Amino acid sequence: MIFKIVSLFLIGMGVLAMFGKLTVPGMKRLTDAKCRRCGRFTFGKPCDCKGRG
């Protein structure tokens, strides 16, 4: 019984790890749209943080 529980747990962890490795389409564009200093989204306009972040 314990072996069955442990094996199901390990299989579940493996499945979660596979989903964690997936990349979302368009994620690169979202990370490029952030301000490098404060992390806010900028979408076509300059950030108004002025280096405070």
Domain ranges (residues) in the chain: 2-32
**pLDDT on residue 51:** 58
**pLDDT on residue 53:** 45
Closest CA to 41 of 24, 25, 52, 49: 49
Q: What is the pTM for the complete model shown?
A: 0.45
HEC states along the chain?
CHHHHHHHHHHHHHHHHHHHHCCCCCHHHHHHCECCCCCCECCCCCCCCCCCC
Q: Tens of pLDDT along 1-43?
A: 999 999 999 999 999 998 887 777 777 777 777 887 887 888 7
